């Protein structure tokens, strides 16, 4: 996986090593962090683009994020695409969760799925919530899922 910072600067280290270094640097500055992981996607003409983000919020001191973009040519129904978004977020959360436990950092997985039944994405809500909670992660959906619905949404090319 290729990750980058919001300014476009590539991250050359494995993401787990980069996150550990980032956490340690923030702790050294006496910043208390919370982390939010989310994925969004957009269907283009003949492919779907996914953006996964790791959002770091400093208590009372702004935040920043790491970004991974990828494309798929697989045609998917909306429920399948929503669950694929969730699985991409869970994959990252699972890889990093021991760091968050080690450094006592709160982490949530955000799903870009609407809690309003009038929206098509709502079809995937129960499955996504069960998947995320079943993996032991805190879960948020729209309108509270800012990592996926705001941050990841802004970094799809």
Strands 106-114 and 10-11: unpaired
Residue pair 113/81 in contact by the 8 Å Cβ criterion: no
Residue pair 38/112 in contact by the 8 Å Cβ criterion: yes
Instruction: Quote the CA–CA distance of 31 and 64 in Å, as a whole number.
Output: 13
Confidence (pTM): 0.94
**31 DSSP assignment:** -
What pLDDT score does 42 carry?
95
Structural domain boundaries, residue 9: 3-154
CATH code: domain of residue 35: 3.30.420
pLDDT tens digits, residue range 27-73?
999 999 999 999 999 999 899 999 999 999 999 999 999 999 999 99
Domain count of the fold of the chain: 1
């Amino acid at each position: 996986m290729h990750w980058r910072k919001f300014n476009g600067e590539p991250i050359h280290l494995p993401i787990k090593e980069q996150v550990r270094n980032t956490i340690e640097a923030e702790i050294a500055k006496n910043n208390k962090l919370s982390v939010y992981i989310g994925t969004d996607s957009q269907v283009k003409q003949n492919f779907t683009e996914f953006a996964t983000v790791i959002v770091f919020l400093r208590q009372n001191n702004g935040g920043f994020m790491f970004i991974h973009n990828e494309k798929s040519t697989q045609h998917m129904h909306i429920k399948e695409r929503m669950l694929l978004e969730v699985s991409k977020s869970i994959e990252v959360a699972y890889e990093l969760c021991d760091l968050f436990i080690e450094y006592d950092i709160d982490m949530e997985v955000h799903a870009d799925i609407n809690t309003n039944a009038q929206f098509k994405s709502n079809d995937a809500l129960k499955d996504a919530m069960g998947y995320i909670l079943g993996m032991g992660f805190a879960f948020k959906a729209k309108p509270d899922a800012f990592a996926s619905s705001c941050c990841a949404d802004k970094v799809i090319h």
